Structure 1
């Protein structure tokens, strides 16, 4: 039997995650992740060294293209929790694709750290005054994204359910 859990009422919650779910409910987590993704999609076109946006570089379109999978996962999570539906193979495939995209998120954190730590090497060059704040903002946003994504996986497991398709297929009655 599938039981939907609202906020901190879920009996499956482990002790530390009960506190996290009180502070950060699933809706808030999805909305914050949405805002972070939108901000990073815009900032991905921004050049911190030149204080300009570059829309003609093909490399700048990789992150927004990959983030569409994340947007799709956010939509599916919202829908599954709101409609009290069980997980399905399509949701599982989207989540597995998101696992692979997490590697790109970690690379972007590494790239942001390299950019931010390159500041002392550029002392003799003309650097815009927005370099440090923007590089730091991008580093913080890229660092928060995997944290919120991992918590989304936890919310999926506790609010939508596990990916147990043998049991799901055995209990499926198509005539209801």
Structure 2
């Protein structure tokens, strides 16, 4: 894991996560079957809203690492919410795979030429996102520390 952390540093991981999240947020409005964007469907806003939690967590990790701070209960709570969001990421992987493999059922219909590339791109990005997220959790544990709040007040030295 040390060689991986030399190749994919914490900054690269956070920046890659942001790029993947923003790309998937835009793609959540894209209709693969019709090759159009749909901004008036409320379902399309679910992923961008949930990705705000992920972006907030990435900001907190960036801030804690650059300022060399200890983890706090607010950061832990955001991470726990992100665990729930990870379940939705896994569902989106399954959903994207089902959409990609549904092309065989539409032989008599006109499907845009962009269907397969866009569905593949979406599936790949959704598959990368949990890996980057789990790696972010590992980086948090390595650079910021574990959540040990039993003696948290003992470790604080406000005069430093």
TM-score bracket, normalised by the shorter chain, equals: over 0.9
Equivalent position SS for 2:150: helix
Which deviations, in whole Å up to 9, do the C-alpha atoms of 1:66-115 show, x marking residues without a partner? 00000000100100000000000000000000000000000000000000
- Structure 1 consecutive aligned stretches of length 4 or more whose deviation exceeds 3 Å: 173-176
C-alpha separation in 1, matches of 2:36 and 2:73? 42
CA RMSD of aligned residues (A): 0.9
Q: TM-score, normalised by structure 1?
A: 0.89
User: Quick one: distance in 2 between partners of 1:171 and 1:22?
Assistant: 29
For structure 2, list consecutive stretches of 5 or more residues without a partner in the other structure. none
Aligned equivalent of 1:119: 103
Structure 1 residue aligned with 2:13, among 25, 29, 33? 29
Q: Given the alignment, which residue of 149, 153, 167 partners 2:151? A: 167
- Offset of residue 136 of structure 1: 0.2
CA shift, 1:171, in A, is 2.6
Q: Which residue matches 1:12?
A: none
Shift of 1:168: 1.4
Q: TM-score, normalised by structure 2?
A: 0.97
Larger helix percent: 2
Partner of 1:8: none
1:24, distance to aligned residue in structure 2 (A): 0.4
Partner of 1:134: 118
Question: What is aligned with 1:7?
Answer: none
Residue segments in structure 1 that go unaligned for 5+ positions in a row: 1-16
Instruction: Give 1:44 deviation, angstroms.
Output: 0.3
